[in-house]
Amino acid sequence: MTLSPEEIEALLLSLKVSLTAVTCALPFALAAALLLARRNFPGKPLIDGALHLPLVLPPVVMGYLLLILLGTRAALGGWLLAHLGVRFVFSWTGAALASAIITFPFQLRAIRLAIEAIDGGLGEAAETLGAGAFDRLVNLTMPLALPGIVAGLITAFAASLGEFGAIITFVSNIPGETRTLPLAIYSAIQSPGGEAEAARLSVLSIVLALLGVTLAELANRRLKAAIGR
């Protein structure tokens, strides 16, 4: 199976968008997971629900919301463009932003479960041995949650590769800029004689998704064994 330059472009763009999306979402997912796993505060169920919203919201709606929030004529989008020169619409960074938001719950959930699975007694023990809050976070919580963090990253990455609705609504379908794999497949189906291309790209998508899920499970198991759990 050989790929045309356009198809390779779509593949590389997809990888770039997804990698950017998951790495940028990671710190937020870590913070949110720590907050939800370790703290109790008023309105927690509401925050919890809101953070998981992208999972159930139609991606088109998410794309639309981003468009009216960050479009160049919108208040926030206009300000960003005027003062920071940042433009999300019709740009691959916009695709990454949309992917980051849509796949955020995958990371949050995996990390939160990993943190909640850590025996609280270990933190107490570390405390009596002289470790402060940041010390415990770095030397206890993070290493012990690492399998969950890595699994979350890979799952989110695989899910991000398949994002369609939010991207096409928010940043449109521009070859070389925002035309990721799913959008390329969609375009191929739309154009006469594009069935073979659509089939090739679909197989590629399936392989990538399969690879992602398998890798996530493998990494989780390997790391768990490495930290003795």
Partner 1 sequence: MIEIDIRHEFPGFALDARFTVARPGITALFGPSGAGKSTLVNAIAGTLRPREGFIAVDGRVLVDTASGTFVPPRARRMGMVFQDARLFPHMSVENNLRFGWRRAAAKAGADEFARVLDLLGLQSLLARRPARLSGGEKSRVALGRALLSSPRLLLLDEPLAALDAARKAEILPWLERLRDEARLPMIYVTHALEEAMRLADHLILLRDGRVTAQGAAFDLLSDLEFAHAMRAPAPGAVFAATVKEKRAGGLTALAFDGGEVIVGRLAAPVGAKLRVRLRAEDVMLALEEPRAISANNLLAATVTAVDAHDSEADVQLAVGGVKLVARITRGSLERLAIAEGTRLYAIVKSVTVDSAIGGHPG
Q: How many CB atoms lie within 10 A of CB 178?
A: 24
What is the end-to-end Cα distance of the chain in Å, rounded? 42
Comparing CA positions, the residue from 77, 104, 107 lying closest to residue 90 is 77
Minimum gap (Å) between residue 146 Cβ and partner 1: 8
Residue 42's contacts (CB-CB under 8 Å, 6 or more residues apart) are none
Comparing CA positions, the residue from 194, 195, 167 lying closest to residue 182 is 167
Q: Which is nearer to partner 1, 126 or 215 (CB)?
A: 126
Q: Which is nearer to partner 1, 142 or 198 (CB)?
A: 142
Minimum gap (Å) between residue 40 Cβ and partner 1: 16
* Euclidean distance between CA atoms 156 and 220, whole angstroms: 14
Residue 141's contacts (CB-CB under 8 Å, 6 or more residues apart) are 34, 115, 118, 123
Minimum gap (Å) between residue 126 Cβ and partner 1: 7
Minimum gap (Å) between residue 223 Cβ and partner 1: 10
Q: Which is nearer to partner 1, 96 or 223 (CB)?
A: 223
Q: Which is nearer to partner 1, 141 or 169 (CB)?
A: 141
* Amino acid letter for position 178: T
* Euclidean distance between CA atoms 161 and 157, whole angstroms: 6
Q: Give residues in contact with partner 1 (CB under 8 A).
A: 119, 121-122, 124-132, 135, 140, 143-144, 226-229
Q: Which is nearer to partner 1, 76 or 227 (CB)?
A: 227
Look up residue 57 and give its two tokens. 């919201």
Q: Which is nearer to partner 1, 119 or 217 (CB)?
A: 119
